[in-house]
Structure 1
Amino acid sequence: MLNINEIKKPIASEIDVFEEKFKASMRSSVPLLDRITHYIVKRKGKQIRPMFVFFAAKLAGGINEATYRGAALVELLHTATLVHDDVVDNSYQRRGFFSINALWKNKIAVLVGDYLLSKGLLLSIDNGDFKLLKIVSEAVKQMSEGELLQVEKVRRMDISEDVYYDVIRQKTASLIASCCACGAASAGDDDETIEKMRLFGEKIGIAFQIKDDMFDFGTDDVGKPLGIDIKEKKVTLPLIYALNNADKSEKRKMIDLVKNHNDDSKKIAQIISFVKEKGGLQYADTQMKRFTEDAFAILNTFPPSEARTGLEQLVRYTTERDK
């Protein structure tokens, strides 16, 4: 398994500078807001999204001030959506820490999300980064549409494989696609290259989400919790494949279980066993690898370079991870 710090080495100094600039971009004259944004910054993850921005910029021509702003824009708007998502989902934890709404209640969490969104918009407008703003705003729009499409389809339990791909393309892949497109655009590259990098990011985002969905059928106890998506009645690729390869009576029975399991651990275990027996995980793994190879095919149209190697390693890290 690749180490994220090893992958980051070629752009480590740029990421350090970015982190300082990102902190500065969140500052406010309101003490409460400053406390909350400080809490957010301290709990940032592995910086995978900014890494996609910086490697894409390096591949497409070079890192400059617009690249830092592009990475900050992606993070500000993404963080805003996460804060709002936790309110919508009544979620009180994120990455093992209390969410903003858990600590400061829903009203403040919604206002903080709005603040981060406005900071991202102003960062771009004040610097004339209209192309970057358009790329990221389109991603946020797609993320909202993807969430609503999933809600609509889950209610009716009629998600086909094509609809599943539409949902994850919008919900997850659009953000990684915007990171890669922003990186290329910040380097001043042409529209064709920007679109090529956007498509590369989209393929990786889809592969990433399929991998994530497979974890739902994985370990128990202290590891990745089993059946979280099933509990939330989300229909993911392993389950879709299993349902499509069951006879009518078995399919009806399983759909009824998904709809009416009432968090019963035995019923959830029954659904997980059904998916495994029908080869749902193997099929999902095959599809994930197909999207990954499509992404590598796009990446390999660029000449070999440190940036291309960095993106290759980052892709392998996101698709070969074990949690």
Structure 2
Amino acid sequence: MLSINEIKKPIAAEIDVFEDKFRASMQSSVPLLDRITHYIVKRKGKQIRPMFVFFTASLCGGITEATHRGAALVELVHTASLVHDDVVDNSYQRRGFFSINALWKNKIAVLVGDFLLTKGMLLSLENDDFELLKILSNAVKQMSEGELLQFEKARHMNFDEGVYYEVIRQKTASLIASCCACGASSAGADKETVEKMRLFGEKVGIAFQIKDDMFDFGTDDVGKPLGIDIKEKKMTLPLIYSLNNASSGDKKRIIGLVKNHNNDPKKISQIIDFVKTTGGLQYAESQMKQYQEDAFAILNTMPEGEARTGLEQLVRYTTERKK
């Protein structure tokens, strides 16, 4: 599989310009905010979401100034959501570094997240990018609803696959879907094409989240501790499948471990072993591949070329990665 740097070569120059504009979009006259946003930028991720914006725009007519603003809006929303998530999850690390709330406490972290969201909104409003703002505002609404739905279902230990898919569609896939919709819209694509690319992104986002959930049971070198979803009582697809296909005795035993012993490393290991030996990971892998294929089926209706190849490679990277 190609590395992320190899994949982004066709749009590398655009990404470099974007990074400068993204840094500029976060500037503030408040010294504390500037220190924090500088810390965020220095520890940025792989820029996968902006890459989806740029490749989709290139596929749908060409990269424009609006594409750069759309990518900045997406990244501001994504960064704000990560800052807020760390507060909600009481997490003190992000990608191996201290989180904002760990260094500057929860109150400041919440305000920083709000600041980033507002900067994204103003960036769109000041440039009359109303369609882009509409797309991202809908994604933020869905992300919030997905988080709250997950909290509610975790409390009641819900094992319904349909509920799981609704949670990840809203919580994760909606943002990747908005990346592709923003890219298409910024390039001047018609509504039908924008919706097609939004659906493509949604399929990719669901496959991405299934893959991420699988890491909880397989390896601990992916940026989050092994078994973290179990500790938070999140019902992920591998666990849901294994519970729904277990004997009543095993099901009762594992549910008891998740409810009452989810902070005990030995008990977590028992839950992980249960999922591995009852086919939970294999089932999740098959479902992830189905969503990947569904995404490719949509992508293959678009014109061939460098942009389509780039999107295909990016999908494979996000869904077939080892960490």
TM-score normalised by length of structure 2: 0.98
Partner of 1:199: 199
Mapped to 2, the partners of 1:34 and 1:111 lie a distance apart of: 13
Structure 1 residues 223, 138: CA separation in 2 closer, same or farther (over 3 Å shift)?
closer
Q: Quick check: 1:218–1:224 contact (8 Å CA) kept in 2?
A: no
Give the unaligned 5+ runs of structure 1. none
Q: In the alignment, residue 150 of structure 2 is paired with which amino acid?
A: Q
The percent of aligned pairs where both chains have the same amino acid is: 82
Per the alignment, residue 311 of structure 1 pairs with: 311
**Change in CA separation of 1:147 and 1:74 when aligned onto 2, cut-off 3 Å:** same
State the Cα deviation string for residues 242-296 of structure 1 (Å, max 9, x = none): 0111122221111111111141122111111111111000000000000000000
**What letter is aligned with 2:138?**
E
SS state at 1:216 partner: helix
Go from structure 1 to structure 2 and tell me whether the alpha carbon gap of 1:53 and 1:247 turns closer, same or farther (over 3 Å shift).
Answer: same
Long gaps (5+) in structure 2: none
Counterpart contact for 2:143–2:172, Cα < 8 Å: yes
Aligned pairs for 1:13-28 within 5 A: 13-28=13-28
Give the superposition deviation at 1:316: 0.5
Map residues 7-156 of structure 1 onto 2, 5 A cutoff: 7-156=7-156
TM-superposed deviation, 1:109: 1.1
C-alpha contact 1:203 1:292 (8 A) present in aligned 2? yes
* Alpha-carbon offset, residue 225 of structure 1: 3.3
Q: Kindly tell me: are residues 145 and 199 of structure 1, through their superposed partners in 2, closer, same or farther at Cα, counting changes over 3 Å? A: same
User: Residues 66 and 186 of structure 2 are in contact (CA less than 8 Å); yes or no, is this contact kept in structure 1?
Assistant: yes
Deviation at 1:224, TM superposition (A): 6.1
TM-score by length of 1: 0.98
Separation in 2 of the partners of 1:193 and 1:163?
28
Give me the CA root mean square deviation: 1.3
Q: 2:215·2:222 contact (CA, 8 Å) conserved in 1?
A: no
Q: Is the 8 A contact 2:159 2:244 kept in 1?
A: no
- Deviation at residue 223 of structure 1 after TM alignment: 8.5
Q: C-alpha separation between the residues in 2 aligned to 1:7 and 1:316?
A: 10
Provide the aligned length of Structure 1 versus Structure 2: 323
The equivalent residue for 1:185 is: 185
**What is the CA–CA distance in structure 1 between the aligned matches of 2:182 and 2:224, rounded to whole Å?**
32
Shift of 1:227: 1.2
Distance 1:10 1:101, change over 3 A: same
CA distance in 2: counterparts of 1:244 and 1:31, whole angstroms: 53
Distance 2:228 2:88 in 1: 17
Question: Contact between 1:216 and 1:229, CA under 8 Å: does it hold in 2?
Answer: yes
Mapped partners of 1:222, 1:311: distance in 2: 23
